[in-house]
Structure 1
Amino acid sequence: MTDIAVPPSRGAGSGRVLSERTVIGSLSVLTGLILWELVARANLISPFLVSSPSAIAEAFIDLTASGELQRQLLISGKEFAVGLILSIVIGLPVAVIAGWYTRAGWFLQPLVAALYAAPTIALFPLIIIFLGIGFWDKVLLVFISGFLQIFVATSAGIRATDRKWVRLARSFRASERKMFWSIILPNGLPYILLGLRLAVGRCVVNVVVAEMLASEGGLGYMIAYYGNTFQVSKVFVALAAVVVTGVILNQMLLVVEQRVGRWRPSTR
């Protein structure tokens, strides 16, 4: 008989399935690392193209001991955090307005659609012309990419709110504020969290690419510099830092989404 993937039931069985899944996943990663190390030691692939896990671990220790990895991570983290926070603070209210008020949506959606259709990184040369190379050019690029994801997902979620609940609330003379907190926000939360997850992923990518193109610091700068000098192990260290950061942020949002899902009232 073949194994069939079925959703685990809650309770003791789900904990056993989760632990088994963790063990199997860990074995998969360990097997991949061992094979990677063996291939590298057998010189089947040029060391100028692909490093080995042991060499990457040594490079990680060197970069951590010198403090360079922490410094570059802090630079990228500041650019990412400021841009993402601005996109949330500005993007969420604008998206709610565009989704709730029809005429505001008619006004804003064509502008956002035009900006969304253009590759965000293609705007970076124009941003550099206006702001120069430094901190705020990366922040603006991160803001634009995060804003677009949040706006599209959140405004769609607000528009997807079942209008019969709105009509029912208005029949009881509920205020706009009451309708927002009791109807619009609970129904739009899944879309808002989806927009945040998409924004985090896009912002991480764009800040690294921007640093690779024009920067004097950050993880993207590390990737570009060590790639140009053929220090492949250090390139992999910077890539791993980007991947781990993105995974951690995504998992944090997944936890928030699960908690909010339990809080969100049922349609019943």
Structure 2
Amino acid sequence: MTDVRTPPVTEAQTAVASDTATVRGRQAQVLGPARLLVVPAVLLLIWYTLYLILGRDAVASPAGVAGEIRDGLSAGWLAESMLITLRTATMAFALATAAGLWLGFVLGLSRTVRTALRSPILWAQSIPKIVLFPVFLLLMGVGTSTNVAFASLYGAIPLAIVTMTGVAGTPSVLLRLGRSYRLGRWRTFWRVIVPNTLPTLSIGLRYCFSLCFIGVVLAEMFVSLQGAGRELIQAMTLSNLDRIFAIAVALAVVALLVNGAFLFVQRHLERHRPQPERSPL
């Protein structure tokens, strides 16, 4: 056989590679914050273009919306309504998380239960939840508890489906590895299944909060005396286009901030989650 040898790497090549990596790192540090401004700038440009094409009767002007947001913050009604909606969404998210994780783990761990209930749950997910809101009103009346229960339904079922998929998709080699170390069911659950499912769960929780947030806004639009949804439906009744867009922008900003926080936690968990394939004990 022919002896093929790799030519040695010279000091000059090493220095060039090091300088290239340094330059790329500095470029990433400089361009990182700039990239965050690209999407808002493009959206603002599209918004202003639509305003020029369609006119004020169809699209509110960015300047008018900015003034409405400033007035709403100075008057206090915008921040107060956003805090009320965010607080209600947080309570709905807590309830949806408890119900969705419990149901998802039960379905994922038991093949018999999963076979029996998977189709009904997928069918329930396909039902438009808004048609069930009158049922919640009939059973619970008007109030924050109704909004919380209704919004939690938005997030609980998708979270259960995501959790079920993640748990059921645990590689069999990891389960056999746990049995080889004579782990019991409880320790296998915490040291093998949960670490393997964490990335899927973090995505499901982020999706769950977004749906709960939407559910709260919809509930407030129908029957509520406070909250961003209530302010939005009042602005629609008065045909106040600037206020409608101002509330929509505020809701989008709140949703993006919360989603960004969930994404940060998700990446942190992915970097620091334990590796059961290396040391399940």
Report the TM-score when normalising by structure 2.
0.82
Residue in 2 aligned with 1:158? 167
* Aligned counterpart in structure 1 of residue 34 of structure 2, from 23, 46, 53: 23
* Aligned counterpart in structure 2 of residue 228 of structure 1, from 237, 241, 250: 237
Matched, 1:190 2:199: yes
Which string of whole-angstrom CA distances, capped at 9 and with x for unpartnered residues, describes residues 119-171 of structure 1?
12221122112112221221111111111121000110000001222123223
SS at match of 1:173: coil
Deviation at 1:11, TM superposition (A): 6.8
Matched, 1:86 2:89: no
Distance 1:77 1:106, change over 3 A: same
Deviation at 1:249, TM superposition (A): 1.4
Q: In 2, Cα distance between the equivalents of 1:82 and 1:175?
A: 35
Higher CA-based Rg:
2
Matched, 1:140 2:149: yes
SS at match of 1:149: helix
Contact preservation (8 Å) 1:204, 1:242: no
Deviation at 1:56, TM superposition (A): 1.1
SS at match of 2:54: coil
Contact preservation (8 Å) 2:170, 2:196: yes
Aligned length in residues: 258
Distance 1:235 1:167, change over 3 A: same
Distance 1:39 1:98, change over 3 A: closer
Give the counterpart letter for 1:219 in structure 2.
A
Residue in 2 aligned with 1:126? 135
Give the counterpart letter for 1:138 in structure 2.
N
Deviation at 1:47, TM superposition (A): 2.2
Between 1:94-103 and 1:180-189, the stretch displaced more is 94-103
Between 1:99-108 and 1:76-85, the stretch displaced more is 99-108
Q: In 2, Cα distance between the equivalents of 1:28 and 1:180?
A: 41
Matched, 1:61 2:70: yes
Report the TM-score when normalising by structure 1.
0.86
Q: In 2, Cα distance between the equivalents of 1:165 and 1:35?
A: 49
Distance 1:12 1:200, change over 3 A: farther
Residue in 1 aligned with 2:86? 77
Unaligned runs of 5+ in 1: 1-8
Contact preservation (8 Å) 1:200, 1:246: no
Matched, 1:241 2:254: no
* Aligned counterpart in structure 1 of residue 158 of structure 2, from 149, 173, 180: 149
Residue in 1 aligned with 2:271? 262
Contact preservation (8 Å) 1:146, 1:199: yes
Contact preservation (8 Å) 2:86, 2:213: no
Which string of whole-angstrom CA distances, capped at 9 and with x for unpartnered residues, describes residues 37-84 of structure 1?
5875x6x53323221121111111211111111221122122211110
* Aligned counterpart in structure 2 of residue 207 of structure 1, from 201, 212, 216: 216
Contact preservation (8 Å) 1:223, 1:235: yes
Deviation at 1:18, TM superposition (A): 5.4
Residue in 1 aligned with 2:16? none
Q: In 2, Cα distance between the equivalents of 1:174 and 1:10?
A: 45
Residue in 2 aligned with 1:96? 105
Between 1:27-36 and 1:170-179, the stretch displaced more is 27-36
Contact preservation (8 Å) 1:83, 1:142: yes
Q: In 2, Cα distance between the equivalents of 1:117 and 1:57?
A: 38
Between 1:213-222 and 1:105-114, the stretch displaced more is 105-114
Deviation at 1:85, TM superposition (A): 0.4
Q: In 2, Cα distance between the equivalents of 1:170 and 1:35?
A: 57
Deviation at 1:255, TM superposition (A): 0.9
Contact preservation (8 Å) 2:50, 2:59: no
How large is the Cα RMSD of the aligned pairs? 2.5
Deviation at 1:27, TM superposition (A): 5.2
SS at match of 1:215: coil
Residue in 2 aligned with 1:3? none
Percent identity over the alignment is: 24
Deviation at 1:179, TM superposition (A): 0.6
Q: In 1, Cα distance between the equivalents of 2:85 and 2:263?
A: 23
